[in-house]
């Protein structure tokens, strides 16, 4: 089976829940500690061996591309003041990535979570690829570990899609998708039958929700081509459900590590704290501060 070396990050939303700050720059550039949200996703892809990366951004906004583009004047200043380490993480991205491409999402495409895939069609070609939602974070000791396991499962079972999944409290399942797994003899562990969106607790088939980490085969384009809009949007989960009817689709729960979303200010703040508590330079002082808060 072909190796998975391409990744697509969806970063074309307007970030309305972060207004007014997102009037000035995309939500994906809102920082988590000293790095923007989206940089963690790029590092995760590289950690999993995915070194051809496309970021699909909002049409007419080049700020994400500007962030990832080398700045000779800034680098000269940092070298003169012996502060090159401040850009160390970006240097590593520039060295490790084979392709770092920026694709504007055409305003002619429908709104929805699947549209970035259509925008990146020429980049993807007929290859399998990783698809990431820009506001989902995986917090783990070594970036890319969980994603690498999804790629391994994708290849092992010759699946057409493998989705990241996580348990959520039953009391909150109505805010998320809910995975229904296939019953009977489990030749393929965690094989997905269908995913449902935001069902009440008494109707949800499980408290396992899918989140924005997917390893996908090229048949996704056939599914999207015949897919109808739902409430005016092109949803990626609808395409996943379509594939699950005839192909092997797996929703693999995360075990080591933690899924966090940065889609709104409260959850962004929680993610900052979670990552801060893993940072050896600040975790001690941060813990002490949190204990003092009333």
Contact, 101 vs 53, CB < 8 A? yes
- Mean pLDDT per 10-residue section of the chain, whose length is 294 residues: 92 93 94 96 98 96 95 95 94 94 94 94 96 95 96 96 96 94 84 93 95 96 90 90 95 94 94 95 95 86
3-state secondary structure of 51: coil
Sign of CA dihedral 116, 117, 121, 125: positive
Contact, 16 vs 22, CB < 8 A? yes
The residue among 210, 241, 211 whose CA lies nearest residue 223 is 241
Domain ranges of the chain: 6-292
Residue 185: what pLDDT? 63
Residue 194: what pLDDT? 95
Rg for the chain (alpha carbons), in Å?
Answer: 19
| Paired sense of beta strands 208-216 and 129-133, if any | antiparallel
Element (H, E) at 39: helix 37-47
**Widest distance between CA atoms in the chain:** 66
**CA-to-CA dists, residue 97 to 6, 43, 51, 92, 229, angstroms:** 10, 10, 5, 8, 35
Kindly report the CATH number that applies to the domain delimited by 6-292: 3.90.550.10
Query: Hey, what are 164's tokens?
Result: 């990241």
3-state secondary structure of 279: coil
Residue 232: what pLDDT? 85
Pairwise CA distance, residues 250 & 253, whole Å: 10
Query: Hey, what are 11's tokens?
Result: 């970063």
- The residue with tokens 């401040």 is 86
Contact, 214 vs 130, CB < 8 A? yes
The residue among 109, 26, 93 whose CA lies nearest residue 53 is 93
Share of the chain residues as helix, strand and coil, in percent rounded to the nearest 5? 40, 25, 35
* pTM given for the model: 0.94
- 2: CB partners within 8 A, 6+ apart: 127, 128
């Amino acid at each position: 089976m072909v190796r998975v070396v391409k990744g697509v990050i969806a970063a074309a939303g307007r970030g309305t829940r972060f207004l007014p700050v997102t009037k000035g720059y995309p939500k994906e550039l809102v920082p988590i500690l000293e790095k923007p949200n989206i940089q963690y996703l790029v590092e995760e892809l590289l950690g999993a061996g995915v070194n051809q990366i496309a970021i699909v951004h909002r049409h007419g906004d080049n700020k994400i591309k500007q962030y990832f583009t080398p700045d000779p004047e800034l680098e000269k200043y940092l070298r003169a003041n012996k502060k090159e380490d401040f850009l160390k993480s970006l240097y590593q991205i520039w060295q490790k990535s084979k392709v770092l491409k920026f694709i504007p999402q055409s305003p002619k495409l429908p709104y929805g979570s699947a549209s970035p895939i259509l925008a990146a069609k020429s980049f993807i070609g007929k290859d399998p690829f990783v698809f990431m939602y820009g506001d989902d974070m995986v917090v783990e000791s070594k970036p890319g570990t969980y994603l690498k396991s999804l790629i391994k499962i994708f290849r092992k079972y010759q699946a057409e899609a493998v989705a990241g999944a996580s348990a959520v409290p039953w009391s909150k399942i109505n805010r998320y998708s809910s995975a229904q797994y296939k019953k009977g003899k489990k030749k393929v562990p965690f094989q997905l039958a269908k995913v449902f969106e935001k069902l009440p607790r008494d109707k949800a088939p499980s408290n396992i929700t899918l989140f924005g980490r997917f390893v996908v085969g090229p048949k996704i384009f056939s599914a999207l081509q015949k897919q109808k809009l739902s409430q005016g949007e092109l949803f990626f989960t609808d395409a996943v459900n379509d594939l699950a009817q005839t192909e092997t689709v797996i929703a693999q729960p995360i075990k080591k590590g933690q899924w966090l979303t940065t889609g709104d200010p409260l959850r962004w703040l929680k993610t900052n704290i979670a990552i801060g508590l893993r940072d050896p330079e600040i975790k001690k002082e941060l813990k002490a501060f949190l204990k003092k808060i009333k």
